[in-house]
Amino acid sequence: MIAHSQIDPSIMQDAKSFCAWLVTGRDTLRKGDRTRIDLMIAGSRFLGEHPLDRLTVSVICKSAGVAHGTFYLYFKDRNDLAGAVLGAFVDYVQLQMRSAARCEGDATRNTTLAYMRVFEANPVLMKSLVAGGDTFPEARAAFQRLNHDWIEAVVRHAMRSDAGDMRSKSDLMRRAYALGGMVDQYLTALFVTEDPWVRELSQDRTEVLDMLTDLWKRGMAP
């Protein structure tokens, strides 16, 4: 992991675990809304440790402490729950990156760091997003929304810089999609599949952060 001394303190303070973020404000909700949140929290905990294809309604109900029939008052099936959890996880990831972008210092580096930290802390959930689309269309939709929303933000920023004078929006969008795919592939190899060669090359997380930041900047430059 990157040493805390190398991380902007405000980025550290803004970060919460996904489950802790989900439970925020739960006690102020009506009973039915609390039950729905409890099912989502149980789903998020399960998907934080297990792949999507092992998710079952029975396991979630037992973890949430609700009757099996109660589940279907809130979700159609396990796919519906997975879609809700992954959709909320996308919101959480975006919040972490937007918070990092507002921190002092280099916005590109800060947001890349925030994404790396979320990836490292939630490798199974990130795997569900990145690779779960083959069997779970809800996962594919959530990941595509994460990509699109963030790339739109990156391109809006680029359009306000010199790059906006030199490149069309379509060109900038293509570049951002390609760069985002490269970053996801690298972080998946590092934190999810744990490729031994990538891990060996990535022992210094600050060097990895510098490299990924440089890729973004060079790829989006005029």
State residue 148's pLDDT score. 92
> Does residue 4 have a pLDDT over 70?
no
Q: How confident is the model at residue 133 (pLDDT cuts 50, 70, 90)?
A: low
State residue 16's pLDDT score. 59
Phi then psi for residue 156, to 5 deg, are -60, -40
The mean predicted confidence, pLDDT, of the chain is: 87
- Whether the CA torsion 96, 90, 118, 220 is positive or negative: it is negative
Q: Where are the domains of the chain?
A: 4-220
CA 77 to chain centre: 23
CA-CA distance, 76 to 45, in Å (whole number)?
A: 20
Go through the chain and tell me how many residues it has.
Answer: 222
Burial 75-85, CB ≥16 within 10 A → b, else e: beebbebbbbb
> Does residue 157 have a pLDDT over 70?
yes
Average pLDDT on 92-108 reads 91
Q: Which residue has the tokens 């570049």?
A: 175
- CATH number for the domain formed by residue range(s) 4-220: 1.10.357.10
